[in-house]
Structure 1
């Protein structure tokens, strides 16, 4: 699929951190946030790709009926932290982990407390993007970054699980690294590179 910039794309997410990152990672795209009065999007799949497609195609169907402005398509992201010592969890449930806790600082500390003493701390961030053009077939692109868990929440940068994830080759978490460094190696950055190639934006 080859498209022409500039693109106007609905981001099927109300996560302000994701909107900020996608705006920085895909500067040739104008992003339209998912409206406050739009429905919550389903993510009941067993895999990241299932959820990303489910959200993108659900958002596209809604936008065709209710969208307030013309757009080229819809982008959805499903991503998460996969921890080896937790059998790959929280994985696709990352966004819904510890719903009783109000902040990610609290969620991060609970997740770290679940890792047994002396266990392998290997982990990876995975991201799958699904792009659903307003007319045409959807496509996906993915990215991942290997690393390990820190022993505590470190840094105030990024969002979500960033302050407990140390990418391979570094001694600082994504919460401590500057955004320009994170954007060269994160799972979301790598997925955006793959998406740009699939859309013919390079």
Structure 2
């Protein structure tokens, strides 16, 4: 399959290519417009991006694709009332690196507070024709006390999945890909795609 990925995030492109090796992904072009993310929930944003990207690609795309995939994901921290949640991508816009963003996030958690957190991923898939659908995945864990590890991307270096002592930033990709929120969502997506008419 050939799928347009409605994202310019290099980390997401790498992970999707590793999690769905049977798919050839085309990244969202540099000259394409920014996609809307105005929803209150991960599902809303994922659908907005997938459907918006499909409409633009049908008018401007350089090659045919089987469908469009969009991801909306984030870190939900219990002590921060579920934040940054759907605002994960826009958290601390004054800071340019995730190392700095992660340290600010950790500083917001009160001393002695419950450090439970979860990563959530919602994928929206819009086939070339027909109705878009969503699948999701989540992984429970807790916040580290500092940014740890250089692997992964985003909030990976501050998230420790349940059952492990290392952050996603420290775990090797092959381990992360067995339990991450994106891995769970990709497994659900693969199951749905196999049932679509060809």
Tell me if TM exceeds 0.5: yes
SS of 1:141 mapped into structure 2: strand
TM-score normalised according to structure 2 size: 0.98
Deviation at 1:200, TM superposition (A): 1.3
Name the counterpart of 1:123. 117
Question: What does residue range 138-157 of structure 1 map to in structure 2 within 5 Å?
Answer: 138-157=132-151
Name the counterpart of 2:93. 99
Name the counterpart of 1:4. none
Aligned match for 1:109, one of 103, 114, 117:
103
Name the counterpart of 1:76. 70
SS of 1:59 mapped into structure 2: helix
Count the aligned residue pairs: 195
TM-score normalised according to structure 1 size: 0.96
Name the counterpart of 2:158. 164
Question: Unaligned 5+ residue runs, structure 1?
Answer: 1-6
SS of 1:102 mapped into structure 2: coil
Distance 2:61 2:112 in 1: 51
Distance 1:61 1:133 in 2: 11
User: How big is each residue's C-alpha offset from its partner over 1:149-183, in whole Å with a ceiling of 9 and x where there is no partner?
Assistant: 00000000000000000000000000000000000
- Asked if residue 57 in structure 1 is aligned to residue 82 in structure 2, the reply is no
Name the counterpart of 2:193. 199
Greater than 4 Å deviation, 4+ residue runs: none
The CA RMSD over aligned residues, in Å, is 0.6
Question: Unaligned 5+ residue runs, structure 2?
Answer: none
Deviation at 1:199, TM superposition (A): 1.1
